[in-house]
Amino acid sequence: MPLVVGILCGDAFPHVFSVWECGVGFLLFVFIASRYRHTGWGYGAAVYLFLGGIGFCSMSWQQEKTAFPFSGEAAVYRVCIREHPEEKERSMLCRVSLTGEIRQDTVTNYSRSPFFLVYFPKDSATATLSRGDELLIYTRLAPPANNGNPDEFDYARYLKRKGCSGTAYVAAGHWRKTGHDVSRSFGRIALDYREKVIDLYRSLGFKGDELAVLSALTVGDKEELSDDIMETYSVAGASHVLALSGLHIGFLYALLLFVLRPLWKRWRGLKPFLLLLLIFFLVSFAFFTGLSSSVVRSVVMFSLLVLAGLQPEKPLTLNTLAATAFLMLLCKPVWLFDVGFQLSFSAVAAIVLVQPKLYALWKVDNRFLRYVWGLMTVSVAAQLGTAPLVAFYFSRFSTHFLLTNLWAVPMVSLVLYSAVFLLILTLLPFVQHLFAGVVEALVHAQNEVLRRIEHLPGAAVDGIWLDAWGVLSVYLFFGMAYYGFLRPTVRNAYLSLLALLAVVSWHSGSMISNAPRRSIAFYSVRGCPVVHCMTDSRRSWLACADSLPDVPRLYRALSPHWNRLHLESPRLVAGDYSAPGLSVQNQIILYAGKRICLLCDGRWGNKRSLRPLPVDYLYISKGYQGGVEELTSLFSMGMVILDASLSDYYQNRIANDCIRLGIPYLSLSQKGSYRILL
């Protein structure tokens, strides 16, 4: 816990200490620990402060690695593509490392190579880019930035924690290939082998959702997963099986344990060697999955579990789990903020604590029923441990998780074991092709049953809102209820009720403070120019121009905010519309006495009016090519709103017109969203 607190403080208030400051701190710890070694509180406080300081320094050093001196001006940079380019909807994303900078014929080589995300236009030239290519690019580097919408995902902090220093866009013709780096790191070699496994699946006839799910289950590649199959697994409560992590490593661990255990029972002297061999197989599997962070975490956890098996007592305890988390965070403190890390450890902790108590409630003699009951208790325990985090991150609770896990967990184990056997059959191509049909049938059956579960009534509860304090209060209640169950006293019952009261009070306060109010909101979502008209009830409208915006992107960006306000799904209004309190005519919105004009084309060009129409907000988005001055004879403008889809050049042009005419203006790409309470 002190290490975790130190990491949190280092993330919120990063400060890199010098060598002499670290030395003074260490000497101070040694002095206090030796001075109060016979005093429990003094020695304990010194150890806690020392571990907290380690967490603070390690997290601060991680953040320091992403620091880069941004000049704000375009320049020529030398870069090397470190991973395979990723094709986006309208661009090519390349993860590159900067090796140098060229300014006025002066070449500056970087001592360390900062990591950047660079976007190229999608064309025939960028389609030839590959990992290892060395390029000269002319661009302006920028630090990671958020859009400024309320309750949005903190993308900038996410990139920083992933080691990314910034982003850039390279226009067509502003780059040139200069060479190719053939050297490969250990991680790159692992990714190459993962690609070979996926290519083998393709050559065996796997395609579509079957290929995507099999690749996700066995090697952790989720690029082929379609939105439909991901939504199916999410609603059914089976998203955890698509994320290659502890569940899959646990299946492999169980298989290897089943194979090797008879050997060390017969020859006890071989047990240490066989346990090391088991760890070797787990590490090899992690290598073939590309050494993804979630798999590495799980392999470390199970490797410590294997080493704990050398002791005669029960190996998997909270101490083992805490030691695993401590060592992992000591090596890479940013893992603390990884969703997979939090879900994995909360699930395992709940299984260790709760599952034995649940399993003991019913004594089952039948072997099959005992297996089913054990699987159900594990599912309930894991769900209790992860439900607050799932609601916090995904705003969803899958109600049919028991039914899903009763089907998905055995099927995933069967698919995983079959895939391992399929890879072993590589030496027998004919038999391998025959067995590939069996594996494909298993994956297809798994997908089809989950689709049936997805369409069951009330399959998921969506729109849940929890913040960090809400999650802590729920876990506090779970902890007090568990403690009261272990030691049923009146005092513990009161404490459990107080914890429940804290949860209810937080929820009630959240409902009151976040109650929807009649207002108008403009959002900074590129390609989504809409005006959000909200009522005092839960109803609202998204008024847009005649052409529909990118609705999925809009919902992904703003659904957390709408969940916090407890709004119903907003109704999308395109074109002319009339409802009580709202009117949209010719892209002019009238709501609650406010008039907003949507300007996205040239329909008002070359028009004049003797009496300008009063407009509270002139909302200019991509598609309008004119200026502001030519509209002054048509509209009497209170404020000009510039959409995030406009180019920097055009925004500066409109801004200069507004300054010259004395009209207030607001750029959503710079200021973020804008909400007017009515």
pLDDT, residue 312, reads 57
Q: Please give the torsion angle defined by the CA atoms of residues 369, 375, 377 and 380, in that order, rounded to the nearest 10 degrees.
A: -140
Min mean pLDDT across 11-25, 154-168, 194-208, 652-666 is at 11-25
Min mean pLDDT across 445-449, 454-458, 533-537 is at 454-458
| pLDDT at position 660 over 70 | yes
What is the mean pLDDT of the segment spanning 579-583?
88
Contact present, 398 and 408 (Cβ < 8 Å): no
pLDDT, residue 224, reads 77
* Average pLDDT over all residues of the chain: 84
Q: Looking at mean pLDDT, say which of 217-221, 338-342, 468-472, 517-521 comes out highest.
A: 517-521
Q: Look-up: residue for tokens 């030519």?
A: 630
> From CA 96, how far away is CA 190, in angstroms rounded?
18
* pLDDT tens digits along 7-61: 999 888 887 777 667 777 777 777 676 666 666 677 777 788 888 888 988 888 8
* pLDDT tens digits along 298-335: 787 778 777 766 665 555 678 878 888 888 888 889 88
| E strand or H helix at 25 | helix 19-35
Report the percent of the chain where pLDDT is more than 70: 94
> From CA 25, how far away is CA 331, in angstroms rounded?
20
648's CB contacts (< 8 A; 6+ apart) are none
Count of residues for the chain? 678
Separation in Å, CA 258 to CA 23, 262, 278, 422: 49, 8, 11, 19
Contact present, 598 and 619 (Cβ < 8 Å): yes
Locate the domains of the chain by residue range. Answer: 2-64, 75-183, 191-462, 468-513, 519-677
Q: How confident is the model at residue 595 (pLDDT cuts 50, 70, 90)?
A: very high
288's CB contacts (< 8 A; 6+ apart) are 190, 193, 194, 197, 219
Q: How confident is the model at residue 175 (pLDDT cuts 50, 70, 90)?
A: very high
For residues 284 and 3, the model is more confident at 3
Min mean pLDDT across 153-162, 409-418, 473-482 is at 409-418
pLDDT, residue 315, reads 57
Separation in Å, CA 458 to CA 43, 52, 203, 383: 54, 45, 40, 17
Q: What's the longest Cα–Cα distance across the chain?
A: 101
> From CA 378, how far away is CA 358, in angstroms rounded?
9
For the domain with range 75-183, which CATH number is right: 3.40.50.620, 1.25.40.80, 3.90.1720.10, 2.40.50.140?
2.40.50.140
pLDDT, residue 514, reads 85
What is the mean pLDDT of the segment spanning 550-558?
84
Q: Tokens standing for 190?
A: 């692992």
**CB hemisphere CA count around 101 (13 angstroms):** 17
